[in-house]
Amino acid sequence: MIVNLKEALSIIHGTHAFDVEFVTADKRRNTGGEVKVLKGCQPLPKKPGDPLATKRRNNYINATRTITPAEGHPVSVHIFLITKINGREVSLY
């Protein structure tokens, strides 16, 4: 089953854990092309004393979202490079 990008973003902004698969890319360093899979992700917490939550990340301007996998540090994901969410393919349309 295919899910569109709007539905995928609503899953990312939700309260339940999710799995995401995306492709890496960095135009400045001319690197990327790796497929990464992160399991048990949550959106970055927005607690008032958390130093990670207070840093401005300009997610909406850069079309990225910062998520925290079950194990590891926060990761910034470009929304147009997401290929699957919860095992369902993501379509831009």
pLDDT for the residue numbered 74: 86
List, for residues 26-76, the tens digit of each pLDDT value: 878 888 888 999 999 988 766 666 665 556 678 788 899 989 898 888 888
Assign 22 a pLDDT band (cuts: 50, 70, 90). Answer: very high
pTM: 0.82
- The whole-angstrom separation of Cα 62 and Cα 70 is 24
